[in-house]
Structure 1
């Protein structure tokens, strides 16, 4: 049996996007408060756990993002992990609509680092910025998780891959 040779190509931005679209990930909305206490937020799938002790997340954000600017200014941010029914909220926060916080329910519990999206999140991690690194047009922000808010939601996580939203099958 003869096996076809794989195609090897130079890594271009388009080819890299295609590569990563085949690696589904969870969907989160990162939120932070600006210097004027205004809420900022953005949809993010560039998120991973780094360590359990201390509990640390890594979040990738565009270098020009106002959410990034707010998180770096205050030294804190929240990561809202979305449930399967929150696709509309993920799309809203990806759109950059200036009134996005007027269109969703959110709260700020005691000592929260950013807005908690009460109807969209399965859980929320509040983080302190411990370091950040510039990579291309993005900043990789390390956040030590100092509190976690678990929502009472039975829906599975919202996923994104192959340039579309999805979730795990039930049953």
Structure 2
């Protein structure tokens, strides 16, 4: 029976950086006339939600796919944790904004909760898809106990 795989903190940090980079890229792609036309077509509230959904899909779901695809072994959990790392600066900035303008925190709590849930699920789904795209690798087979672990490398022959 295989043991539970340790979480790779390296891939959580890499994943956070990938997600932040994708989020910035998505915001740049829909800035200007694209974003304006969506808001004009659907109204300010619905348009803003659609824009946020597009950015979230690109950043979290596609980021999860990339991390699941390129990280070695089974790494479903790392993209989900990377999402928390990537969302944190934005949530803290929004919280400070509420304090600066004396706005009730109820809206922030609701928005933060919804953002965390949706982004976490998108990254988890993307990571699962990335793992499926990656296929069966030596690392995965060793983690599951289907192959014996590789012997440790020694420097004695060098």
TM-score by length of 1: 0.22
- Higher strand proportion: 1
| Greater gyration radius | 2
Structure ranking higher on relative contact order (CA contacts 8 Å, 6+ apart): 2
- Higher helix proportion: 2
